[in-house]
Amino acid sequence: MEYDEEEEKILKQVLSAFFLYRQYGHTLIQQKRKFMSQLSFDHKDLLLQDTDNNFLKHLSRLDDCVKQNSVVAEAIAKAGIPVFYPSFDVNNLPHVSNEMMQKVSSTLKQLTRDWSEESVDERQATYVPILQELDSLFPLDSNDRSQIHILVPGSGLGRLAFDIAAKGFSCQGNEFSYFMLLTSYYMLNCVSSTSEFAIHPYIHSFSNHVTRDHQAEKVAIPDVVPAEYLNHGAFFSMAAGDFLEVYGDKTSENRFHVVVTCFFIDTAKNVLSYLDVIKNCLVDGGYWINMGPLLYHFENDCASQHENPTIELTLDQLFYAMDSMGFNVLKHESTTTSYMGDKRSMLEWIYHPHFWVSRIQKANLQQFVA
């Protein structure tokens, strides 16, 4: 792969962040030890006398959890180097911001959502309705699914795109984040057995835990081995890059029979631009299937708004725009789900995402405009 100077700098930092995760995790835990040492003698003694939850012993336990997490983080980076950045020097790691390190921790939690039994309920609520709709639109007994081309922009760690391809469809995932791309590459191509790794996704927050065991909870990944399922002759790929740039030109026009978006469209600065590109990608009569909320990611990003003003539409405004652009809504309903939630926590964010199936009518719209 060839990168411009800025992109190369970002990729180098992302790879470095995975390698530096162990150091980062241990540093955070060491800070907790320092804070405890600054407590009064009575308060320290109180915590240390709790034999079931001795705080210093718990911190040592978390150090072990960091080591196990780092095994996965480093494996992801090592597997990605030959594919994404062959000249990367593991002995010359650049400085990485705290924000980048936090993204490694977030990626571990995302692994739990996409590739473990732990989060099967979330996938049932958000992925399964999409998969069932594809089964309904393209029954296996009357379609050569390898000829049905499906795009999944914002594909993250690749689970939904994999689930679609495993049904025999030709599926392409698209992702912008190198954290996601490196990790999805590893999960889709390098794992060899179920429960191959154990991760501890909740260790970096000390809040809202009922017990210390909950904070150190172990999660096995993956729950499936992708290579064992992608044997239907369908084409499956992942494309790196910004959705608007990769699929907004003539080369992507009328390429896909279905575009599937899940917790994605609110990542746009202007959601109407996403609609333009979805329309461009789809064949006339193709389907756009969406699942997600409207938690606009750039709403409070002042720097971004100065350069590229953002616009946040309500759902009814979005449906008006869809209708005007030729999207005929065939089905619309809502559901309830968490996102990267921890059922044992005292705090869990609950979404009420909307699910719809729409069909683009390009020819009819052109005649109407004329």
> Which pLDDT value is given to residue 257?
98
Region 238-247: mean pLDDT is 97
Asked if residue 3 belongs to a domain, the reply is: no
**Average pLDDT value for residue range 183-202:** 97
Query: pLDDT value at position 306?
Result: 59
User: Looking at the domain assignment, is residue 78 inside a domain?
Assistant: no
Q: Is the pLDDT reported for residue 367 higher than 50?
A: no
What is the structure's pLDDT at 122? 97
- pLDDT reported for residue 304: 56
pLDDT higher than 70, residue 305: no
The CATH number assigned to the domain holding 305 equals 3.40.50.150
- Residue 332 domain-assigned (yes or no): yes
Instruction: Report yes or no on 139 lying in a domain.
Output: yes
Q: Which domain holds residue 188?
A: 102-369
- Domains: count for the chain: 1
Percent of the chain with pLDDT over 90: 89
280 pLDDT more than 80 = yes
Answer whether residue 67 is part of any domain. Answer: no
Average pLDDT, stretch 69-73? 98
Q: Report if residue 167 sits inside a domain.
A: yes
State the Cα torsion 194-199-202-205 to the nearest 10°. -160
pLDDT confidence of residue 366: 45
Rounded mean pLDDT, 206-228: 96
pLDDT tens digits for range 18-48: 999 999 999 999 999 999 999 999 999 998 8
In a domain, 233, yes or no: yes
23 assigned to some structural domain:
no
